[in-house]
A and B are shown apart, each in its own frame.
Chain A
Amino acid sequence: MKLVTAILQPSTLSRVLDALSGFGVSGLTVSGTEEVTGELRVEVYRAHALVSNTTARIRIEIVAADEDAPDVVRIIVSAARAAHGDPGRVWTQTILEVVRIRTRERGLSAL
């Protein structure tokens, strides 16, 4: 089994989710996060300047069977193109064990 993790621009989220569900990919987790980028964002509060070099991103995590993982990556990559800026990254890791808590199923049947 593989864990596919994608860090994407928030604006591409709905397109990526539509594409994944269109290919029958289910069981994914989405969270908001910040990526440290080279872009320096300045905000000024009461004449006091503050900066951040992070940019809002979306993290999608999907656990898939070994043979499905490359397709999941391809779907995300083709759907996550963005009009402006860096569209993000996708990476894959090996997963040792998955347990579905309700049924105690393990491995692929727990996905």
Chain B
Amino acid sequence: MNPYPPWLNAGDNAWQLTAATLVGLMSLPGIAVLYGGLVQKKWAVNTMLMAFSAFSLVLIVWVLWAYNMGFGKPMIHASVKGTATGFIGHPGPVLGSTQEQGQATIPLLSGSGGSIPDFRFPKSSLVYFQFVFAAITPLLFLGSVVGRMSFKAWLLLIPLWTTFVYSVNAFLLWGGGWWAAKGALDYSGGYVIHLAAGTSGFVAAAVIGPRLARDRQHSAPNNLLLCATGAGILWLGWNGFNGGDPYFAGADAATAVINTNLATATALLTWLFMDMLLSPQKKPTLLGSINGMIVGLVAITPAAGFVNGMGAIAIGAIASAVVWASWYKLSATRPFKKVDDALGVVHTHGVAGLTGGLLVGIFADPKIIVYPGGSTTYPGLAYGRHSFHSLLTQLGAGLTIIVWDGTVTFLLLKLIGMFVRLRLPDAALETGDIAVHEEEVYPADTLTALAGAAPAAARAAPEPGAEPAPASPATQTAVLDE
């Protein structure tokens, strides 16, 4: 007997599964507790349940049809300079024994003639690794719509968004689709994930409508310890996010990991210093620093294994300064002032992802090798003689994501809005978690067992001619129907 098929490399497979798990931890519990801590106390349960339920929904959709739309054989064919490409993959399940245990491939990219060496791990490793990216993307734009979106509408949006938005993004840039064939670079998802989340979240926030005016004004977070916990999990989890994307446990994986940390540390410090020097309060803040940290992680994502260490530091500093300005200045102008993007996803993910994606076109170092012997990347403006080619390609791919994701997210929400309300009624928004879930994040000390408390309520209620007090949980929940 042999533990491995001949094409399998234990190191590569072990790293791919480890990296995927690290990325999964970024969603659960990372984003769940970061966002759960950032929202008002009355929305913590709703926010966390939206994260857990979306993570589950995306996995089912992913293995039934969406993985193959992002990474399978092309359905709509095209050709760029003689290279076969396309716009979307053939949907189909990846649940059989050969699909789970056979060698992984990306049909347009793998093997001889392709741009990626033959994979040395099974397809289930690739499916799961790509799933955790597909799952975190809607979790990121959850931050735009928390505090008013109907839970039912959320459950309907996630499968549709994964199918018609994320799969297209992934195929275009990672599955060998049109922008990949044009040479656009997105190492780990500056466009596919972060620009997508920023754009879709902003559009969704506009279509669904704002939170209650008072909640918008008094949107104090409820737990900074959980914010710090979630943020820390994001940072270290990102070692898998970027370190896993070469698909091999080689030198470029290590390059991507250290570059990711360099850009992140630089961006955190840049935001910290800008807060101390330029903010109205001139004070260092935890939540500001965490925001800067996330900006660094996002901005280095499209670049991690294409730039050198100096490029990583430059990207961290530039992106953090750009997003800081966006956060404080752009947010005061229309349409950013009007649209209630609750946690500012359009800045920390949208602007940061686009900035990072464009900076790849400047700092991509042709001497940083993804695969020894493979084709080198286009040199960025800082290394190419007089070539704007990389920068223009990056711009084109970024605009494609913005237009496609924005338009389709708008249409999907309009479609869902024909069947269920997108925004909860005001009475439910006043109450939050208890109205939607009958749970609250720190259950009150005044709660008692149902049998003991009902007579007390009955005693308090009766007045001549008054309506009888609600008698059972069933009548209570009926009032809160979405």
Contact = CB atoms under 8 A, between A and B. Distances in A.
Interface string A41-69: 11111000111111000000000000000
A37 B446 contact: no
Contacts of B447: 43, 50-52
Nearest to B449: A50
B444 interface: yes
Interface stretch (B183-191, B359-367, B470-478): B470-478
Contacts of B450: 42, 49-51
A11 B214 contact: yes
B330 interface: no
Interface in B433-466: 434, 438-440, 443-444, 446-450, 453-454, 456-457, 460-461
B482 interface: no
A34 interface: yes
A53 B473 contact: no
A40 B214 contact: no
Contacts of B470: 40
Contact of A51 (B214, B448, B460): B448
Contacts of A38: 457, 460-461, 469
B443 A50 contact: yes
A95 interface: no
Contacts of A45: 439, 443
How many chain B residues sit at the interface, stated as a range, is 20 to 34
How many chain A residues sit at the interface, stated as a range, is 10 to 19
Interface in B415-448: 427, 430, 434, 438-440, 443-444, 446-448
B42 to A, nearest CB: 10
Contacts of B461: 38
Contacts, number: 63
A36 interface: yes
A84 interface: yes
Interface string A21-44: 000000000000010111011111
A45 B443 CA distance: 9
Instruction: Indicate the member of B434, B453, B456 with the most A CB atoms within 10 Å.
Output: B453
Instruction: Indicate the member of B448, B450, B456 with the most A CB atoms within 10 Å.
Output: B450
A43 B456 CA distance: 17
Contacts of B443: 43, 45, 50
A43 B469 contact: no
Contact of A54 (B430, B444, B473): B444
Contacts of A44: 438-439, 473
Contacts of B440: 43
22 contacts: A11-B214, A14-B214, A14-B218, A34-B446, A37-B460, A38-B460, A38-B469, A41-B476, A42-B450, A42-B473, A42-B476, A42-B477, A44-B438, A45-B439, A51-B450, A51-B454, A51-B457, A52-B444, A52-B447, A52-B453, A53-B453, A54-B444
Interface of B: 214, 218, 427, 430, 434, 438-440, 443-444, 446-450, 453-454, 456-457, 460-461, 469-470, 473, 476-477
Interface of A: 11, 14, 34, 36-38, 40-45, 49-54, 84
